[in-house]
Amino acid sequence: MVRDDNSPSMELPSDSGSAVTIRNSDGMGGAVIVCGHGSHFIPVSVENLGLGDDALSSHVAWDPGASLVSEHLSTLLDAPFVRGEVSRLIYDCNRPPDADSAMPARSELFDIPGNANIDQAERDRRTNAVYVPFTECLQKVMAAAGPDAALVTIHSFVPVYHGKPRAVELGILHDTDTRLADAMLAAAPRHTTMNTLRNEPYGPEDGVTHTLKLHGVSNGVPNVMIETRNDLVATPEACEQVAKMLHGLIAEALAELQSA
């Protein structure tokens, strides 16, 4: 992809001025934590994509709880934490630029008017403003962390989807490199009573492993995507508890991989 330097820039979050932030960049705990859906920030220039406050604050725009879980986990694991600072409705950083779902025109519950008829110039503008810096930042952090650092991405999902309650509480997702997911699934009963399932409520067939493939599988580093049902991370206390549990689970799995 070629950068278009003539395209107007997109105003980005005022607290960071960036589409991506890094915390604990010197962490040497053997993992990199990524939260690509942790913000529901939408730039003023896109006029809220034609959405009301109900949609803009809902899971449609972000993964509630995922950022706070990631922050605690970053501290507990002493791991760098890369956070996307822009709503996935502007650009879903877990999708490649040629995917329709990178700038979705429809979510589970809402049509997204501001995404309905976007032309290639607007797609390029958002790609350059959000996806490129996110991807370049994560590449640098992974390189600095070294070949032994695992990639751990943190998400949350809704308890009821298209009217159906979901029984899964904790999803351990992977693409073709199953090492870390296998070790975590084997260790899970020692750490949690949550209903923990492989490649649920999504899997590679849903296109959700883009970040894992790009920054984990292609580098040969162990990688996993963790999906927590968002009713279980609905308060700061719950986020901290889930992060503590995940810390124990990930640490045991990483130790298992290192001794193998």
The answer to whether the beta carbons of residues 254 and 152 sit under 8 Å apart is no
Gyration radius of the chain's alpha carbons: 18
Q: How far is CA 23 from the centre of its chain?
A: 15
Span near Zn ion by CB under 5 A; candidates 56-64, 124-132, 194-202, 234-242: 56-64
Span near Zn ion by CB under 5 A; candidates 124-132, 143-151, 155-163, 247-255: 155-163
- Closest CB 120 distance from Zn ion, rounded Å: 26
Query: What 3-state DSSP class applies to 15?
Result: coil
- For Zn ion, give the closer residue by CB, 49 or 187: 49
The conformation of residue 25, written as its DSSP 8-state character, comes to T
- For Zn ion, give the closer residue by CB, 155 or 187: 155
Span near Zn ion by CB under 5 A; candidates 79-87, 148-156, 214-222, 228-236: 148-156
- For Zn ion, give the closer residue by CB, 95 or 155: 155
- For Zn ion, give the closer residue by CB, 30 or 230: 230
End-to-end CA distance of the chain: 39
Q: Each residue of 205-244: b (16+ CB within 10 Å) or e?
A: eebbbbbbebbbbebebbbbbbbbbbbbbeeeebbbebbe
Span near Zn ion by CB under 5 A; candidates 50-58, 147-155, 228-236, 243-251: 147-155
Indicate the residue whose CB is closest to Zn ion.
Answer: 155
Q: Which tokens belong to 118?
A: 């976007």
- Closest CB 88 distance from Zn ion, rounded Å: 7
- For Zn ion, give the closer residue by CB, 63 or 85: 63
- Closest CB 190 distance from Zn ion, rounded Å: 26
Query: What 3-state DSSP class applies to 70?
Result: helix
- For Zn ion, give the closer residue by CB, 155 or 215: 155
Cβ-proximal residues to 125 (8 Å cutoff; 6+ apart), any chain: 4, 7, 8, 10
Span near Zn ion by CB under 5 A; candidates 5-13, 63-71, 110-118, 234-242: 63-71
Using CB under 5 A as the binding rule, the residues of this chain from 92 to 131 that contact Zn ion are none
155 sits near Zn ion (criterion: CB under 5 A): yes
> DSSP per residue over 154-194, as a string?
EEEE-SEETTEE---SEEEE-SS--HHHHHHHHHGGGT--S
Given 31, 51, 63, 221, the residue binding Zn ion (CB under 5 A): 63
Which sign does the torsion angle of CA 99, 230, 29, 251 carry?
A: negative
Using CB under 5 A as the binding rule, the residues of this chain from 24 to 53 that contact Zn ion are 37
Q: Applying CB under 5 A, which residues contact Zn ion?
A: 37, 63, 155
